[in-house]
Amino acid sequence: PEWDEDHPIHFVGHSAGAQVVRVLQQMLADKAFKGHDTSPNWVLSITSLSGAFNGTTRTYFDGMQPEDGRTMKLISLLQLCRLGVIIYDWFDIPWLKAYYNFGFDHFNMSWRKMGVWGLVDCLLGNVGPFSSGDWILPDLTIQGSVRLNSHIKTFPDTYYFSYATKRTQQLLGFTVPSGILGIHPMLFIRVLQMSQWSHPPDVPPPYKGYRDEDWWDNDGALNTISMMYPRLPVEHPHRLVSNDSECHPLQPGIWYYKIIEGDHILFIVSRERAGVQFDLIYDSIFERCRKHVFRKNPQKLPNQAHQTLLS
């Protein structure tokens, strides 16, 4: 299929995928793909479902250092996951890799290629996917998102829409999970943890004007404030949507955002679990894409042109 400025496409991204699409659009604007005369107008629209635009306090619970947002704590869940991934890839068991592959084959971490000493080097962090800051968790800290967002623009000819999810509520002045049944069991404890987050008092805040309470509403993986629109280090043009009828037609270059009840995986894992709300979300996404099929005035099809001449 053709893809260029005259044949732009719609993107729908979930979680970190929404930020990846923004990075891609910026790369298209920067003409980062040699041999291709790209532009940001290759992207007609970006729709975000629980998009990680401004980082998440979840990363600090899991083991990223709040001091810099780059390094991991020595003892943490992330360190355990890092060791597990390295050993998993080192053993290189075919039937396991066929079931799930972390995508690290290009690091040649198999025992057949690096041997025992190579494994030791990986575990020590000297080589492999975790030896630099170029992996997903540093980009998901608040500081990492500030660094990333400082190079990513919102473009004037692209349509933007974001769904920010939350599973918290206010109760007697406290932010708490909004019920038990509506939150996936894997995420309930995480919703509770994130709703009680407190930035270490002896560590400089990640940005000027930071307040803990702004980051308490969450969906178990991301903070609701992070999912609305790119806001750090500077706020991008945005508009809150309470009812879809308020934003027809969409104006390009503005982040329209809507806050909806749901945990981080409600709209991607199980249609049965989300129920009719699942259908409504995707119907609205597809309808919005259909209304913005053309950036310019739509071209008439041959039979339409013939009918115009006859009339």
Q: In terms of pLDDT, which residue wins out, 58 or 132?
A: 58
Residues 249 and 117 in one domain: no
Question: Average pLDDT, stretch 62-84?
Answer: 95
The pLDDT of residue 55 is 97
**Is residue 181 scored above 90 in pLDDT?**
no
- DSSP output for 181-215: TTS-HHHHHHHHHHHT----TTS--SSTT--GGGG
Are both 244 and 199 inside the same structural domain?
yes
Q: What is the pLDDT of residues 97-115, one digit of tens each?
A: 999 999 999 999 999 999 9
- Residues with Cβ within 8 Å of residue 132, at least 6 apart in sequence: none
Residues 23-48, mean pLDDT to the nearest whole number: 96
CA-based nearest residue to 141, from 72, 266, 217, 57:
57
Report pLDDT digits (tens) over 201-211.
999 999 999 99
Burial 12-50 (b: 16+ CB within 10 A, else e): bbbbbbbbbbbebbbebbeeeeeeeebbbbbbbbbbbbb
**In the chain, how long is the greatest CA-to-CA distance?**
80
CB 177 within 8 A of CB 188: yes
Q: What is the pLDDT of residue 299?
A: 47
Residue 145 and residue 128 share a domain: no
Q: In terms of domains, do 84 and 155 share one?
A: no
Domain identity same for 45 and 80: no
Arithmetic mean of pLDDT, 29-39: 96
Average pLDDT, the chain: 91
| CA 300-301-304 angle, 5° bins | 80
Model confidence pLDDT, tens digit, residues 238-248? 999 988 777 77
Mean pLDDT of 27-45: 96
Residue 62 · residue 77 · CB < 8 Å: yes
Shared domain for 186 and 245, answered yes or no, is yes
Query: Which has more pLDDT, 295 or 44?
Result: 44
pLDDT at residue 245, as a whole number:
76
**111-123 and 77-91 helices, crossing angle to 10°:** 160
CATH code of the domain in which 196 resides: 3.40.50.1820
| Residues 112 and 255 placed together within one structural domain of the fold | no
Residue 304 lies in a domain: no
Q: At what angle do helices 16-29 and 142-149 cross, to 10 degrees?
A: 20
What is the number of structural domains in the chain? 2
Residues 127-175: tens digit of each pLDDT: 999 988 788 999 999 999 999 999 999 999 999 999 999 999 999 999 9
Cα–Cα separations (whole angstroms), residue 277 to 52, 183, 217, 283, 290: 22, 15, 21, 10, 20
Task: Check whether residue 19 and residue 88 sit in a common domain.
Answer: no
pLDDT above 50 (res 301)? no
Clarify whether residues 121 and 156 are in a common domain.
no
Residue 1 has pLDDT above 90, yes or no: no
Residue 123 structural domain: 72-132
Confidence of residue 271 (pLDDT cuts 50, 70, 90): confident
What is the chain's length? 311
With 60 as the cut, is the pLDDT of residue 300 above it? no
Residue 146 sits in the same domain as residue 84:
no
Quick check: is 306 in a domain? Answer: no
Asked if 222 and 95 sit in the same domain, the reply is no
